[in-house]
Amino acid sequence: DKYASIVLGSLDEYQNRVDIFLIEFKEHIDDKTRTMLHLFRAVMELSWENARVHDERQSIIEKWERLEAANKAGALAREFAHETQQFVNSSKVLIAKDPINVDNLRENLDRLEDLSKNLLKKTGISYQKELCGVNDIIWDTLRTYGLRKKGSYEIQGHKINLKLDHRLRQKGKPAYLVDVDPNAIISCLRNLISNAIEQYKFINKKGPIDILTELNKSSSVDIIVQDYAGGINPEILPNMIWDAWVSR
């Protein structure tokens, strides 16, 4: 019983019990048994060390998982902020129009609601792909600004020049379909248009905005939104960047 009891308790208690056992029974223990006890002690010490390392490893894994969850939450927050900002920008454009088109504003709110539902459903936006015509997506985007398929197009005094690849549409119907989420593309285009308008504000001008579509040899389609503001004035740029970011 006394021999069996030495394997119980903490590592320090175990080591002490082995030492006491060896002292008390030194006259009754041969060299072989003594060697076995020392070996057994070394094995138990190694087992305790492995258990300690395992606990530390588990602690590190848990910390890493919490960090990964925090990073995902941060990425999700940035994604939501980006999508929300483009909604705000396009809504400002609609509000600036006279008269305000309530239907278009309601459509923007519906898109924001869909975005929120997707974000709550999973850690990213849920895309619903479908076959659709690229040029039709362009027109649907302009419709959110209250524009229709007639006459010239302007958004806040900026002329919109459409340069749509004729190969994508023939006889009034899409001649080339792409498998995309149209709402995601519309959201992206609205953000690019709003960004182009903001770029012109830096030079205090009302300039044109080109929207182009092009069918490539690789059977992919490019959609380009281009402004001619020339970028941000170098004198203004330092005032747009936080000192904390400059120091990194």
Question: Measured between alpha carbons, how far is 236 from 198 in angstroms, rounded to an integer?
Answer: 14
The vertex-123 CA angle with 120 and 129, nearest 5°, equals 90
Torsion angle of alpha carbons 111, 112, 115, 117, nearest 10°? Answer: -100
Instruction: Kindly list the distances between the CA atom of residue 142 and the CA atoms of 33, 147, 149, 154, 244, in Å, as whole numbers in the listed order.
Output: 90, 5, 9, 10, 38
User: What is the chain's length?
Assistant: 248
Query: In this structure, which long-range contacts are made by residues 105-109, counting pairs with CB atoms below 8 Å and at least 24 apart in sequence?
Result: 107/144, 108/144
| β-sheet bridge partners, residue 177 | 133
Tokens of 57: 């490893």
Q: Mind listing the pLDDT tens digit for each residue in 177-218?
A: 888 888 888 888 988 898 898 888 888 889 999 999 998 888
Q: What pLDDT, on the 0 to 100 scale, is given for residue 247?
A: 37
Question: Measured between alpha carbons, how far is 130 from 177 in angstroms, rounded to an integer?
Answer: 9
Tell me the one-letter amino acid at 201: K
DSSP annotation of 127 reads: P
Q: Mind listing the pLDDT tens digit for each residue in 21-71?
A: 666 666 666 777 767 777 777 777 777 777 777 777 777 777 777 777 666
pLDDT tops 60 at residue 240 = no
Q: Which CATH class is domain 127-246?
A: alpha beta
Q: Mind listing the pLDDT tens digit for each residue in 90-110?
A: 666 666 665 666 677 677 777
Packing angle between helix 31-96 and helix 11-24, nearest 10 degrees? 180
* Helix, strand, coil share of the chain (percent; to 5): 60, 15, 25
Question: Measured between alpha carbons, how far is 215 from 149 in angstroms, rounded to an integer?
Answer: 22
Backbone angles phi, psi at 224, to 5 degrees: -120, 130
* Confidence grade of residue 226 (pLDDT, cut at 50, 70, 90): very high
> Domain extents for the chain?
127-246
Q: What pLDDT, on the 0 to 100 scale, is given for residue 45?
A: 75
Q: Mind listing the pLDDT tens digit for each residue in 150-159?
A: 667 888 889 9
Question: Measured between alpha carbons, how far is 200 from 228 in angstroms, rounded to an integer?
Answer: 8
